[in-house]
Amino acid sequence: MKRRVAITGIGVVAPGEPGAKAFWERITSGSTATRPISFFDPAPYRSRVAAECDFDPVREGLSAQEVRRLDRAAQFAVVCAREALADAGLHDGDLAPERTGVSLGSAVGCTIKLEWEYAVVSDAGRLWEVDPAYAVPHLYDYFTPGSLAAEVAWVAGAEGPVTVVSAGCTSGLDAVGHGCELIGEGTADVVLAGGTDAPISPITVACFDAIMATSNHNDDPEHAMRPFDRTRNGFVLGEGAAVLVLEELEHARRRGARVLAEITGFANRSNAYHMTGLRSDGKEMAEAIRAALDRARLAPEEVGYVNAHGTGTKQNDRHETAAFKAALGAHAYDVPVSSIKSMLGHSLGAIGSIEIAACALAIEHGVVPPTANLREPDPELDLDYVPLTAREKRLDAVLTVGSGFGGFQSAMVLQRPGTAA
Amino acid sequence: MSAVVTGIGVLAPNGLGTEEFWSRTLDGVSGIGPITRFDASRYPVRFAGEVPGFTARDHLPGRLVPQTDRMTQLALTAADWALLDAAADPGDFGEYDMGVATAASAGGFEFGQKELQNLWRLGPRHVSAYQSFAWFYAVNAGQISIRNGLRGPMNINVAEQAGGLDAVAQARRMVRGDTPLVVTGAVDASLCPWGLVAQLPNGRLSTGDDPRTAYQPFAAGARGHLPGEGGAILVVEDAESARRRGAPHLYGEVAGYCSTFDPAPRTGRPPRLAAALRGALADAGIDAVDVDVVYADGAGVPELDLAEAEAIAEVFGRNGVPVTAPKSMTGRLNAGGAALDLAAALLSIRDGVIPPTAGVTGPDERYGLDLVTGARHVRVGAALIIARGYGGFNAAMVVRRCPPAAPRPARAAAVIQGEGT
């Protein structure tokens, strides 16, 4: 019999207050978490806005050693993993270690630690042959971000397959997709899957400045990120994490776990076109969507909500609008499409997982989150982008997509428990 | 459905191209030497495996060179050679029939160190527009996809050295799905001051003062390993489809794989490497006696060598199987090293020869290893490759001689025991 994948627990650290509850309240209220960058002086930068988490690691239960050792991205992941396990009703000793895995996405790993430790050993860039006397004990953990998955594995006691999936901005989707593969093929019964990134650091802000991908609506930080709006001019950098407990459906049923949703389809494709550019036809994203729906054995008309990539760049919003039309046909005009990045910013390799969490909660609550800041529709973008206000709607099947550097396009289908084929 | 390797592209410290690498490896010619890419005189580690005589402009379009780190230039060249070796013309495949599954332990960190220096010394406006996509962990997969028009599924694993095998396992998953050809493997390199210093706090790098003896896996005098750059890119295909199109080489079948993760420190639970070995054999459907050679991880750190020797003895018995670690001639190439070992194992099958652990006159007696220290001519039907990633990642893979095309053998065991070509 085919092994099916259930989501039985969710942990989220999103901009604003941490926790899945605060996250869901924010994205259904339509209020944004974007604000002037507070982590460092943003004055020399073109884009000076970010979506920051109000995250106090001590208040979130991390030990002094964890606070010292862990990059902010690892701190987010550990806190999310603990919340997800508790949410799934799993306690120490409940999971068989060898049947438990981790698949964690991250686009840029431990960027904040890497940059600041670089600044120390290089004496603020003066030394090319950097000074080893100032290298901190866990420096290599920041260098190669497998450490992020290792920390989550330690939280869960996982001794099965453990990996980081680092595919740029689709990492959060691809890591969960990989977790589903591990369960589907029988390698694991439970996988903690998700994504984490904490990129609000001078080097990341400078990178996106250089290619003008981020918004410079610096004078209106709360409304800086405007997906699908005529006045959009790029994304706002965000941070955060989500970890899901993925569980083989029968395993979940046997222990009487609550099933939030099933993940029934996943696929990704590459555009083989450009590291950062997108063709306006959205062809490969459309193909990923078709393949994901095919695996879920769903017709396009059965999709009740589309969680868009919605980065608010000119090219992205055109690209995915075309992809939705190509993959869903006439139904693209009927189905609500929204971008929660309008409220949370773009947390690179984390956001795909945060959006999967949003989809699972949308199914559970029967609510479609809105696209904030969408006040002046772009005549070129003619779908229903759910402007400003959340909508109540029973959702049986939802689609979430991601698009990232390298030309990567990913799509995933989630379904209400009991409705999947 | 079986997944077979049909193309190999190698750039290693002891050879450019598969045949040069292989003949030098069999002759015990080491690529370890003094670090020349930067002034290492202030560091306790003076030697590394640098890829010699590689000029990116000889192999790649000029416009790509300023956009890419050296490790991406090596990876793109290796991918070109692998596809050439496989005689696979992307034009002959369906639009989404070719995928990419690579691994990385670091990104383009030499490029990244330059841009961090620009940022910290000169300011954000001096950061290259290419930094955003030149350094991140997914860069090689994206660039390989774009250069070769590979538009099928993609994935990038990060699990330090173990990721190199995880990626090939992912390629096999894709092939077993609906993607006939996948470009996989890894090329890794962080031979810049920042990359070297990041590894120093681990205490695993050798500070030996003789390049011939500084890295001696399993030797009584082992005192750590050396870093290196390079790796191997492989073409993995569905066996039927490869035969149908007349692929010139069927190097071997990716027959078995397992990955495990070690328990957290101080839990008192046993390590999980032996479980990975057993899992890979079980997945291949063979017994320990069917394995003709083990390519060891060979950390060159006494406690790690001991742990690996114990795992090998647990599965194969003391002195139960020939063991080799030719990475003593290249240094540890991280994810690239596992892929390179896999390539060497396939060449062992092709040529009936096991390369030496050059530089080691004999293993420490307490390990109970039949360590191959001079090229050994023996028929190789199946090989097991071991790769461990820093932090607790274990991976093991079995490759075996491809069964004859037709008639299909009744039992896999018959193929392994049978007479080869």
A144: contact with B, CB 8 A cutoff: yes
Q: b/e for B56-77, b at 16 or more Cβ within 10 A?
A: beebbeeebeebbbbbbbbbbb
Residues A276, A212 share a domain? no
What are the E-state strand segments in B96-203? Answer: 98-103, 154-158, 181-188
Residue A79 lies in a domain: yes
A394: contact with B, CB 8 A cutoff: no
Q: What is the pTM of this model?
A: 0.97
Residues A210, A357 share a domain? no
Distance CA A304, CA A393 (A): 8
Residues A270, A193 share a domain? no
Question: What is the pLDDT confidence band of residue B348, given thresholds at 50, 70 and 90?
Answer: very high
Residue A91 to chain B, least CA–CA distance (Å) = 16
Residue ranges making up the domain that contains A409? 263-415
Residues A83, A153 share a domain? yes
Model confidence over A194-243: pLDDT tens digits?
999 999 999 999 999 999 999 999 999 999 999 999 999 999 999 999 99
pLDDT over threshold 70, residue B418: no
Residue B136 to chain A, least CA–CA distance (Å) = 6
A172: contact with B, CB 8 A cutoff: no
Report the relative pairing of strands A5-13 and A240-248 from DSSP bridges. Answer: antiparallel
Report the relative pairing of strands B376-377 and B353-354 from DSSP bridges. Answer: antiparallel
Residues A267, A206 share a domain? no
> Are the beta carbons of A146 and B389 closer than 8 angstroms?
yes
In the numeric block, the tokens 């794989």 are attached to B257
Residue B195 to chain A, least CA–CA distance (Å) = 8
Residue A215 lies in a domain: yes
Residue A337 lies in a domain: yes
> Which of A254, A280, A299 lies at the terminal end of a domain, its last residue?
A254
* Radius of gyration in angstroms for the set of CA atoms belonging to chain A, rounded to a whole number: 20
Residues A218, A293 share a domain? no
Q: Which residues of A touch B268 (CB under 8 A)?
A: none
Nearest CA in chain A to B44: A132
Question: What is the pLDDT confidence band of residue B413, given thresholds at 50, 70 and 90?
Answer: very low
In this structure, what CATH number is given to the domain that contains residue A201?
3.40.47.10
Q: Which residues of B touch A210 (CB under 8 A)?
A: 127-129, 131-132
Q: Which residues of B touch A163 (CB under 8 A)?
A: 157-159, 163, 166, 259, 393
Instruction: Tell me the count of A-B CB pairs closer than 8 A.
Output: 258
Residues A234, A284 share a domain? no
pLDDT over threshold 80, residue B412: no
Give pLDDT, residue B131.
95
Q: Which of residues 343-372 of A touch B (CB under 8 A)?
A: none
Residues A77, A114 share a domain? yes
Decide if B39 and A129 are in contact by the 8 Å CB cutoff: yes
pLDDT over threshold 70, residue B184: yes
| Nearest-CB residue to B149 (from A131, A174, A272) | A272
> Which of A207, A230, A254 lies at the terminal end of a domain, its last residue?
A254
pLDDT over threshold 80, residue A366: yes
Enumerate residues 6+ apart whose C-beta is below 8 A from B190. Answer: A143, B71, B105, B106, B109, B110, B196, B198, B227, B229, B334
Nearest CA in chain A to B100: A270
Residues A61, A84 share a domain? yes
> Which of A254, A284, A300 lies at the terminal end of a domain, its last residue?
A254
A163: contact with B, CB 8 A cutoff: yes
Q: Which of residues 32-51 of A touch B (CB under 8 A)?
A: 44-46
A164: contact with B, CB 8 A cutoff: yes
Residue A421 lies in a domain: no
The alpha helices in B205-358, defined as continuous H runs, are: 239-244, 273-284, 302-316, 335-351
Distance CA B374, CA B169 (A): 30
Decide if B158 and A115 are in contact by the 8 Å CB cutoff: no
Residue A350 lies in a domain: yes
Residue A41 lies in a domain: yes
Residues A293, A225 share a domain? no
pLDDT over threshold 90, residue B408: no
Give pLDDT, residue B411.
47
CA B387 to chain centre: 8
Average pLDDT over residues B337-345: 98
Task: For the beta carbon of residue B287, count every other beta carbon within 10 angstroms.
Answer: 12
Residue A243 lies in a domain: yes
Nearest CA in chain B to A157: B263
Residue A85 lies in a domain: yes
Distance CA A266, CA A251 (A): 21
Average pLDDT over residues A268-286: 95
Decide if B142 and A405 are in contact by the 8 Å CB cutoff: yes
Q: Collapsing DSSP states into helix, strand and coil, what is residue A246?
A: strand
Overall domain count for chain A: 2
Give pLDDT, residue A34.
98
Which residues of A are tagged catalytic? Answer: 169, 309, 346
> Are the beta carbons of B396 and B277 closer than 8 angstroms?
yes
pLDDT over threshold 50, residue B198: yes
Decide if A153 and B392 are in contact by the 8 Å CB cutoff: yes
> Are the beta carbons of B243 and B323 closer than 8 angstroms?
no
Residues A315, A221 share a domain? no
Model confidence over A137-193: pLDDT tens digits?
999 999 999 999 999 999 999 999 999 999 999 999 999 999 999 999 999 999 999
Per DSSP, A178 falls in state H
* Radius of gyration in angstroms for the set of CA atoms belonging to chain B, rounded to a whole number: 20
Residue B144 to chain A, least CA–CA distance (Å) = 8
Decide if A146 and B158 are in contact by the 8 Å CB cutoff: yes
Nearest CA in chain B to A287: B96
User: Which residues are bridge partners to B376 per DSSP?
Assistant: B354
Residues A242, A333 share a domain? no
Task: For the beta carbon of residue B123, count every other beta carbon within 10 angstroms.
Answer: 13
